Amino acid sequence: MKNELKELAVSLFDIDVVKFGSFKTKVGLETPIYIDFRVLIAHRKILKQISRALWKLSSDPDNVQQICGVPYAALSMADVIADDTEKPMIMRRKESKNHGTKKLLEGVYAAGDKCVIIEDVVTSGTSILEVVADLKNEGLEIIEALVIMDREQGGRDNLEKSGVNIKSLFTLTEMMEYLLSADKIDQSTYDKVIDYLKTNKASVKIQEEEKKNTRLTTDFLSRSKLAKNPLAKKIFEIMNEKETTLCLAADLTSADEIIKLAEIAGPHIAVLKIHVNIIDDFSQIFIKQLKSLSLKYKFLIMEDSKFGDIGNTVSHQYSKGVYKIAEWADLITVHPVAGPGIIDGLVAGLNDISEERGIFLVTEMSSKGALTTGSYIEQSLSMGDNSKLVVGHVCQSDLFKNPGMIQLTPGVKLSKDSDDLGQQYNTPESVVNCGADLAVVGRGITQATDKISAIIKYKDQLWSAYKNRLS
């Protein structure tokens, strides 16, 4: 295959896929060489040759059920491979549509399908990782990524550390060696590119940018200054001051039991979450007691109604009826399924309320087989970005980068587990490493014999994981 690759390298040079000069890569690295495979759409013979050579790298071609090309340059190669093998092809959009089905992935596929990703050039690996995340959100299994050119700047390491197996036709060094031996470039051009590779690694560049930009390595006090919602700012400040990221789910049916639990948990929690419509003996006296404890111990009250109706209905559900939730709940949870109108309805429900309020959008759920995947997640994140009422997202993974927003993650237990009704639990360390700022613990505390010991144990483990995440 070496001779075949050398001929391909020369062909690519002859049609100006390989360019020398001064360029900048996607991740911001200056480079003396640029590889532009988009040119191949005008050279069908070479396109087919390189696509077929790429498919020879497949480790298990018979068990591949889907081909997915990374947009846009790799789409033409993926199309050739799909046509040759008669396998279906998936196209992952760079952005979801804002009309029609609003899908991010185009094609016919099913959860569990085994997929191979096709890419033209890997520098940092971020483009492939973005595609992997979207495919996994739809339930597909990633076998490997087949790449024409590995620029040897850290992308392979980034992908393999993320569990993505990668195979490439060429490394940049191999490409330069083929061109030098074919007298397509001189020794000084070869030396310039090889010297460049020794000192310019995309993995280092990415790590530096992530350290500067990601919310996961920024402390709560710094992030409080970036929050657009005053209540989000307050949550950050409470977590920082009390050194706790614990949201206690007091999903109990007795008002007295909730008050007793809040009394012992109050000093150790940032938020107390309840389901008001399951309380058998609800009264305004209960609300008055709960508000008094929240002021005494500096925690916020969240009503977990998960509003999910049209705007006019949720406006009444929020502000009227027996519960009058808007009058006492600092925070509520909201399903974005009804679209932006649901936020408008909640804003209308606050017309007579002077206190600060905030909502968490249920962007991703912890239950097995949840339908909160793909474009649903994209649209929910977009709704959050466009509303000052949103303090953050309920989700299981690091879905957003805005440091002024809060990730609320439910389903936390000291050991990984699940219940008989599909709820899946993860450890404090794992949820924090997956982006959780505020972690919801329920039965791990409410069903504990020694509740105060359980509260402190969860508080300490979560806070330790947060501090480790910062470093």
Q: How do residues 148-207 score in pLDDT, each as one tens digit?
A: 999 998 889 889 888 899 999 999 999 999 999 999 999 999 999 999 988 876 554 445
Q: Which amino acid is at 56?
A: K
CB atoms within 10 A of CB 26: 11
The answer to whether the CB of 96 falls within 8 A of the CB of 379 is yes
Instruction: Count how many Cα atoms sit within 13 Å of the Cα of residue 224 in the half-sphere of its side chain.
Output: 13
Q: Give, as one character, the DSSP assignment of residue 117.
A: E
Mapping DSSP to helix (H, G, I), strand (E, B) and coil, where does residue 257 land?
A: helix
**DSSP secondary structure string for all residues of 335-349:** -GGG-THHHHHHHHT
Interval 255-267 mean pLDDT: 97
The answer to whether the CB of 266 falls within 8 A of the CB of 296 is yes
Q: Provide the H-helix boundaries in 142-254.
A: 155-161, 172-181, 187-199, 202-213, 220-224, 230-242
Tell whether 139 is in a known binding site. Answer: no
Tell whether 22 is in a known binding site. Answer: no
Residue 207 is encoded by which pair of tokens? 């790590």
Lowest mean pLDDT among 85-94, 319-328, 347-356, 436-445: 85-94
Mapping DSSP to helix (H, G, I), strand (E, B) and coil, where does residue 305 land?
A: strand
Tell whether 151 is in a known binding site. Answer: no
The rounded percent of the chain whose pLDDT value lies above 90 is 72
pTM, two decimal places: 0.60
Alpha-carbon gap, residue 33 to 145, rounded angstroms:
23
Order across the sheet with 89-92: list the strands: 105-106, 89-92, 66-69, 114-122, 141-150, 166-171
Query: Which active-site residues does the annotation give?
Result: 304, 306, 309
Task: Please report the domains of the chain, with CATH numbers, ordered by start residue.
Answer: 2-212 (3.40.50.2020), 214-470 (3.20.20.70)
Alpha-carbon gap, residue 42 to 47, rounded angstroms:
9
pLDDT in tens, 388-401: 999 999 998 888 98
